[in-house]
Amino acid sequence: MAIEPALLDTCTTHLKTCLKNIHKVIQKANEILSSISQPSVCSEVLLSSQGADYISGVVEVYRLSKRMEGGMRMHNINCERLRLVLRDVDLSWNNLQAFLSICPSLIQTMPSQSSLDSGAEGASSDPSPCLQSCCGVCLLDTPVVEFPSEGRTSMLNTGVRSYHPSCANFWLHCVDSTLPIVACHSNCSACVKVNKDL
């Protein structure tokens, strides 16, 4: 079942805004690294603790784009505008990886592409999954591994919506000072059940 047109417009706008900001962050990293003319200096910057922390943050931002891709798949949001922004994010990410390749020891600490892509796996067997049970930013409904050494991360609950901690962090620092709240569709069986129980 397709999402209602008004809700689809809201979701599309929300996702596009976040993805454009993800693209800006990755593009900025590309600009910073491309401004360093000497590969040895670039390598030194990337291997410094501050450089490694910065790249680690950029990796988490890219990981969010993959989770958003999974949320789109889970809710059957198929929009050309979003596909174009996702393509731009991936192109910037691939360009960034070319800079990172000059630092083999840094590449070894990076997550594999398959682990990044696993966030994009989000097809749902439910024809109209509940948006209320999903992260208000990426639209995925399951806890994600924020930091592998710490295992799965629980969702932050604001009383109105739940969010993955890294999704909420990115939104508040790079998109808007207010977390997004996307209403659920009118034919959501989970929301109907909750309302009946009240």
Convert the pLDDT of each residue in 152-173 to its tens digit.
Answer: 557 888 877 889 999 999 999 9
pLDDT at 150 over 60: no
pLDDT band, residue 177 (cuts 50/70/90) = very high
Convert the pLDDT of each residue in 114-139 to its tens digit.
Answer: 666 655 565 455 556 677 778 889 98
Predicted TM-score (pTM) of this structure: 0.81
Task: Give residue 153's pLDDT.
Answer: 58
Among 2-16, 127-141, 168-182, the range of highest mean pLDDT: 168-182
| 170 or 7, which is more confident | 170
Among candidate residues 86, 45, 80, 31, the one with its CA nearest the CA of residue 62: 86
pLDDT at 190 over 80: no
Phi/psi class of residue 171: alpha, beta or left (left: φ > 0; alpha: ψ in -120 to 50)? alpha
pLDDT band, residue 83 (cuts 50/70/90) = very high
Compute the C-alpha angle 75/160/62, nearest 5°: 50
